[in-house]
Amino acid sequence: MKNRLKVLRAERDWTQAELAAALKVSRQTINAIEKGKFDPSLPLAFKAARLFELSIEDIFQDEVTP
């Protein structure tokens, strides 16, 4: 799953640790999501969407192979 988490975090000048604290997850979880190695749970995706005041689809996109 592609995501814009790293870009959105950088725009706010937040560290991975700061974002992790805001979302109540570990910094390692944020790192894995940003690198595309871990897909967030639906509740976590909703938390991120609320935090950034965006829709889930504005942050996370499914990688559809043609």
Q: What is the pLDDT of residues 13-22, one digit of tens each?
A: 999 999 999 9
Which phi and psi (to 5°) does residue 62 adopt? Answer: -70, 135
In the chain, % of residues over pLDDT 70: 97
Nearest to 52 by CA among 2, 1, 17, 11: 11
What gap in Å lies between CA 64 and CA 16, rounded to an integer? 27
What gap in Å lies between CA 50 and CA 35, rounded to an integer? 21
**What is the chain's length?**
66
Contact (CB, 8 A) for 1 and 62: yes
Contact (CB, 8 A) for 53 and 44: no
Residue ranges, the chain, pLDDT below 70: 65-66
Domain chopping of the chain, boundaries: 2-56
Can you give the pTM of this predicted structure? Answer: 0.89
Q: Which CATH superfamily is domain 2-56 in?
A: lambda repressor-like DNA-binding domains (1.10.260.40)
| Per-residue pLDDT, 65 | 57
